[in-house]
Chain A
């Protein structure tokens, strides 16, 4: 009875908007109390953060992303992509998709793409003659496009959590990064085709390719071009570990933006460091307390019970995947991606594996589903950022983004029911 009362209190304060870490912490404390385990175990569980060398990548990549977001990188990236592929029919929209995907992958889908790149793209899309509604939807959804490409933080976090679960099968970050490539490209292609179709009557002028422009744009971005090449080579050749790549990236970005381009002053650098680490702190504290709650759940055999319940009601892999898609879509609408990963992966992954789903494939399904959650009402983060940035009422954004949502959900279904698309490179 008392347990029930406590559970109810926790549920109510969670809905009222209590910090997620305090909810998870309360569940863990309560759970350990009822299992008659000394509550000091909480500190031991939290200290396990320092047993996870991969986690180093999280603060380092987040910092690099924030630094790139605050400098003029977005401008140079846009100019370069435009010079190289802007000549294609419907070129600017394709440029926008590719540039946003790149930028989001590097800055970790924190919404900085909308602010930095969207701010440049939105007026140019309108000027080039694209539909208003299409343009605003493009910049809104751009905040999460590219989340499947390296060095995407959600993919890294999924890998870290999956490795903690000891599934008997190793889920490496490299494998996740390889698996994300084709699904990510499919998203860009599908959106490009849609943009060509919906803007076919807009008479968008073609811009001829110019070597001169391409050379100028490349020269301007000469210090940043090596970064993605180095990262991709590093990940796929395996000559450095992910956390080492993150360290080199952070150092390189500081040198380039602060000392070569001189766009960031030292004092500003400190402010960026602080800002990015507050964001990291918010995520890390959730991860650390969830180490405790996950252990409690395992002690209390909750995944086992969930597993038996689901097995009793869902016989088929396809049906399970259908439920999974719907569940993740709903979760994506109310939780941010990092909390969703920390809470849901330990519960879902063991069940999914028992249905014969590859853990790497599940990671791609999970993240791709969550990508849509970024702009699903009522709490999709991208909606709020775009509404604030472009001074549009949020309800207008709800309706504008619907076609993008449908297309991306169709892609998610393809990703879900065609495992080879993700796993072919492994």
Chain B
């Protein structure tokens, strides 16, 4: 089945796999930096009585990044926390319909959030605020629109998948 893919489709698949790997690596790297830096800070504070001034802020921004990148990864298969009272009692077909509705809803909400947080980041970019050391605020905040954009994209893809599943079921 996979052999009849064109060169471009294969290329696209490879890019997708690469992007997923990059996302995973970023997530693991963020946690590694967080553990190392927070441990280092305690070490410095208790042994030498002094720490890196901007370290605490860096760690707190990493918490935000971990949260949002983690949420991006969780969206790959739609593994977000939800209230699943009704879905347990639906038939296969009704479930596919409800999944389509849910996917399109999530994608829309995230697109709106991505757009308005992008405006916010743009505002911060022009203001030129500095978050810590020499890192501008807008870089730290940029993950917010990116995350919502990626989540919106993933739920759009999930929508198309569920939609084609629904089409198959109705046939």
Contacts and interface: CB of A to CB of B under 8 A. Distances in A.
A16 B24 CA distance: 30
B102 interface: yes
Interface string B68-85: 111111100011111111
A56 B106 contact: no
A53 B83 contact: no
Interface in B121-153: 121, 123, 140-141, 144-145
Q: Is the interface of A mostly helix, strand, loop or mixed?
A: helix
Interface in A336-367: 336, 338-339
A247 interface: yes
Interface stretch (B1-9, B11-19, B110-118, B160-168): B110-118
Given A16-B86, A42-B116, A251-B39, A282 B64 contact: no
Interface bin, chain B:
35 or more
Contacts of B92: none
Contacts of A51: 60
B102 A277 contact: no
Of B32, B85, B86, B119, most A-chain CB atoms within 10 Å: B85
Contacts of B72: 281
B84 A288 contact: no
Contact of A42 (B24, B27, B117): B117
B77 to A, nearest CB: 10
B105 A22 contact: yes
A251 B109 contact: no
Nearest to A49: B64
A19 B81 contact: yes
B28 A286 contact: no
Contacts of A157: none
Contacts of A52: 60, 63
Of B72, B81, B99, B145, most A-chain CB atoms within 10 Å: B81
Interface residues of A, number: 65
A59 interface: yes
Contacts of A279: 70
Contacts of B42: 240, 244, 247-248
B35 A19 contact: no
B59 interface: yes
B156 to A, nearest CB: 13
Interface of A: 9, 13-22, 25-26, 29, 38-40, 42-44, 46-47, 49-53, 55-56, 58-60, 63, 240, 243-244, 246-248, 250-251, 254, 270, 273-274, 276-288, 334-336, 338-339, 378-379
Interface of B: 24, 27-28, 30-32, 34-35, 38-39, 41-42, 56-57, 59-61, 63-64, 66-74, 78-88, 98-99, 101-102, 105-106, 109-110, 112-113, 116-117, 119-121, 123, 140-141, 144-145
Given A52-B63, A338-B81, 11 more contacts: A18-B82, A21-B71, A40-B116, A43-B116, A43-B145, A243-B38, A246-B38, A247-B42, A276-B31, A277-B73, A285-B71
